[in-house]
Amino acid sequence: MTGHVMTTNTNSNTFSLLTPDRLVKALALASLVLFVFIELYFFKISYHPIGYAASGLLVLFGIWRIATEKDRFQRIRIVTIVSLFVLFWFIVPVVFKVKVPILGGQWGSFPQLHTIGSLTFFVYFGIVLLFGKRVDCGWCCPCVTARETIGFPFRDKTVRNELWWRLRHLKWLTLGMLVVYLALMIYDAGTAYNRAGKYFYGFVTYAYYGSFLLIPFTGNRNFCRILCPFAALWGVLSVSGFYRIKANREDCISCGKCEEVCDMGIPIVAMVKEKGQIRSIECMGCGRCVNICPTNALSFHSAAGYVKEMIAKIT
């Protein structure tokens, strides 16, 4: 009888450990490892079609995210992210085989957004200037898709401190590598890859996939925060353009809720008090700070807002 009770208690304790959150995290951890293996080995190293299987993991976790997300704005964002991922990185290049021109007379499968020297890469310069880096880092990037789906259960591990805020400057190193490669592409596309491209892509690729294995310890946006060259490039263009999150200083009560939900670790309260806006190359436009603000002190502004204001003045 005693043995039976002990067994029952053991099972009960075991069950209590496997709460939905922990179960989801366990599944997410296993999926992160599997995702990295499939993507890196089959897709990046051996160029085998089985690499597309990794996309299935993202879609499955994407469905889970959509089903469990309570905030309407964030649900729309996740639906957009997952939908664009399936459209841009699977249906269009695989089914329709759309090609994009690249400097040097090369062609690549659409969208080639993060391919240095592609037509899409250059078009995005203008788009980011108008609407901010959120058009990639917040709503479209395949890396973001992985981090907002498989990596999402570990958002609570996001490190928000002075050290990590300073580590953001490491992105200038990878951005520098990108700029050198781009300059060589424009100068002599035929030799640019061997002179700089293979080093750039090699470092970024392995750092990118390695960062997924660190997500359970540092949060889902670790790579975006400290090493992503595109986060830096789009960020520079973003602060140079029309996009920013404006703030009404009088309405800000310094509650800090905005900083608690910011995956990029931005000192939002200080920026609001000092500048009356969030205009940082780190801002990815996810909108969590805007949505959680209890006094509605924050609001999005981009080229679309300026057009509306001009029309309103005219009419």
9 in any annotated domain: no
First to last CA, the chain: 84
20 confidence band (pLDDT: 50, 70, 90):
low
Mean pLDDT calculated for residue range 168-192:
97
Among 75, 79, 137, smallest CA distance to 263 is for: 137
Last-in-domain residue among 202, 223, 238: 238
278: part of which helix (H) or strand (E)? strand 277-278
The per-residue pLDDT for 13 is 45
Quick one: 130 and 24 in the same domain?
Answer: yes
61 to 40, 213, 288: CA distances (angstroms): 19, 17, 20
Distances in Å between the alpha carbon of 123 and those of 128, 137, 306?
9, 16, 21
187, 278: one domain: no
Same domain as 66, residue 159: yes
Please tell me whether residues 246 and 232 are part of one structural domain: no
Instruction: Tell me what the mean pLDDT of segment 225-231 comes to.
Output: 97
| Cβ neighbours for 308, distance < 8 A, ≥ 6 positions apart | none
Whether residue 297 is predicted with pLDDT greater than 90 in this model: the reply is: yes
Q: Which of 200, 206, 205, 203 is closest to 184 using CA atoms?
A: 200
Tell me how many domains the chain contains. 2
- Looking at the structure, tell me whether residues 178 and 80 fall in a common domain: yes
CATH of the domain at 278: 3.30.70.20
Residues 264 and 184 in one domain: no
Q: Mean pLDDT throughout 196-220?
A: 96
Write down which residue in 238, 259, 293 finishes a domain: 238
Residue 18 pLDDT > 90 = no
Give the pLDDT band of residue 47 (cuts 50, 70, 90): confident
Mean pLDDT, rounded, of the chain: 90
| 18 Cβ neighbours under 8 A, 6+ residues apart | none
Give dist(CA 158, CA 165) in Å, integer: 12
Residue 70 sits in the same domain as residue 151: yes
Together in a domain, 177 and 247: no
CA-to-CA separations, 244 to 25, 132, 301, 304, in angstroms, rounded: 34, 8, 5, 12
Asked whether residue 233 falls in the same domain as residue 302, the answer is no
Q: Order of strands across the sheet with 244-247?
A: 277-278, 244-247, 298-301
Q: Whose structure tokens read 């679309």? A: 304
DSSP annotation of 151 reads S
Q: Is the confidence at residue 305, as pLDDT, over 90?
A: no
- List, for residues 79-120, the tens digit of each pLDDT value: 999 999 999 988 998 889 999 999 999 999 999 999 999 999
- Rounded to two decimals, the pTM is 0.89
pLDDT for the residue numbered 19: 52
Out of 31-45, 155-169, 208-222, pick the least confident: 31-45
- Pick left, alpha or beta for residue 100 (phi over 0 → left; psi -120 to 50 → alpha; otherwise beta): beta
Residue 293: per-residue pLDDT: 97
Same domain flag for 146 and 224? yes
Q: Which domain holds residue 305?
A: 242-314
In this structure, of 13-17, 214-218, 244-248, the range with the lowest mean pLDDT score is 13-17
Angle at which helix 72-86 crosses helix 142-149, to 10 degrees, equals 130
pLDDT tens digits, one per residue of 114-161:
999 999 999 999 999 999 999 999 999 999 999 999 999 999 999 999
Q: Is the pLDDT of residue 234 over 70?
A: yes
